[in-house]
Every structure is written in C-alpha cells, then in structure tokens.
C-alpha cells in the first residue's frame, strides 16, 4: 500500500494496521536520538570544545552521506582525546534523558513477553545505564578506551569485532533472534539514522523515530511527532 498518515505525525507504509503486539517476540532499539534525547558523542565533544566539528560528522553519518560509518566514528572519537571521564558523567547526569514514551513502550512490550535489544553505535558508558534503567535484555555498543581517567581517542576491540556499525547492528539483531529461537519477522526494529537501516531491513516491522529522511522513506512506520509509545497506536 502507499504511504498514508494514520494519525497526525504517524505515517504508515506497506502494511495495514493494526497489528498485534503479541505477534512479535523482540524489539530492537537504537539509542542516540531514538531511546534517548541526545547524540552522546556530540555532547562528550562539547567538553573538548569540539562539538560543532563532531556534530557535523554525526549528522552526515546519520543522513547516510558518509558511506564508511566506522571511519566516521573513529574520526569523531579521535577528537575526544583528553576528555576526562568526569565529563562523560556530567553528560549522563545533566543532559541524557529518555525520550518521551520510552518507558511506556518498553513496559508494554515486556508485559506481553517480548525481549528488548539495545544496539548502538554509541558507547557502553551510556548504554549500560540505559539498559539498567529500562530493564533491557541484550545490548551491543562500543567501548571507549580510558587511561588515567581520560579518553585516549581510541576504542577497544571486543570479542565480536571492533565497532558496532550498521552491519554489526544487523548481525546482532539476527543473532538475538536465533538465540531466542524466533524468526526475524517476529522482531521490531526502531531507529533514526542510516546505520539503523540494515537491522530495520531484517525486521518484521521497521519503525523510524523522528528520523532522517532516508530512514523515514524506507521504514514501514514513521513516528514524526510525539513519543516512542505512539507505536502502540499501530501495534496493539
């Protein structure tokens, strides 16, 4: 079916609502600008006086204008060299907030037995806190290297690889489905940037949240106004 505005600020494409939440067993979220209100790397860069420079790279990457996400992230992390861990703690304490409807949507999903996955091109310093706050079951994100209480400008390789980019998000989504013994079509994937498209393309339901144009165009549902819990208007 062609795109239609199901309700103000809620665009439906390629399927007829409503679906049942019980049709799904997993929901996967991006973190920065999806589950939370900020791009953490940009806010860390603010402490180094480099927010404008880093934010410009982030915006281009999220719009899909930079083909190599890993290289774009390495460039941004290099610019964080020398930022104290205390500055990251300030971002966590003073700037990071869950986006509207995050708690409500996660609660509704868990109430019907769904598992929750957080996959982020961001950093464990923040994903671990969001995981604990929302009771998220699985996470994958990047580790910033720290020496003497300061960022080195590098990331730490992990057993699964070096950087959680779009392809790694896709792999983690599929691996989590396999671990749960479900089909990818029984999963929902929500994101806002181009690096979310690979996992969104595997999911039974893909949802763009206040997303970049390229992501809105390819998602089955686009939430353009209001909170994350607006998905519950479509999937009940």
Active-site residue numbers? 30, 32
Residues ≥6 apart with Cβ < 8 Å to 65: none
Hey, what are 9's tokens? 């600020």
Nearest to 33 by CA among 9, 53, 58: 58
DSSP secondary-structure letter at 88?
A: H
DSSP secondary-structure letter at 20?
A: P
Residues 138/173, Cβ–Cβ less than 8 Å: no
Give CA–CA dist 105/226, Å, rounded: 13
Q: 3-class secondary structure for 160-220?
A: CECCCCHHHHHHHHHHHHHHHCCCHHHEEEEECCHHHHHHHCCCCEEEEECCCHHHHHHCC
């Amino acid at each position: 079916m062609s795109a239609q505005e199901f309700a103000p600020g809620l665009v439906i494409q390629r399927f007829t609502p409503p679906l049942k939440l019980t049709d799904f067993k997993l929901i996967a979220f991006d973190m920065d600008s999806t589950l939370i209100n900020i791009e953490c790397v940009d806010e860390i860069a603010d402490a180094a006086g480099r927010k404008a420079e880093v934010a410009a790279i982030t915006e281009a990457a999220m719009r899909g204008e930079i083909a190599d996400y890993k290289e774009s992230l390495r460039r941004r992390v290099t610019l964080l060299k020398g930022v104290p861990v205390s500055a990251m703690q300030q971002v966590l304490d003073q700037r990071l907030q869950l986006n509207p409807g995050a708690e409500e949507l996660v609660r509704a999903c868990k109430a019907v037995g769904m598992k929750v996955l957080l996959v982020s091109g961001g950093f464990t310093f923040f994903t671990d806190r969001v995981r604990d706050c929302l009771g998220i079951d699985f996470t994958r994100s990047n580790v910033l290297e720290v020496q003497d209480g300061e960022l080195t400008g590098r990331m730490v390789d992990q057993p699964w690889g070096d950087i959680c980019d779009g392809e790694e998000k896709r792999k983690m989504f599929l691996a989590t489905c396999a671990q749960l013994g479900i089909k990818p079509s029984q999963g929902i994937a929500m994101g806002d940037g181009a690096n979310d498209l690979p996992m969104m393309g595997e999911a039974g339901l893909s949802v763009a949240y206040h997303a970049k144009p390229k992501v809105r165009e390819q998602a089955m549902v686009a939430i353009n106004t209001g909170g994350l819990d607006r998905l519950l208007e479509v999937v009940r």
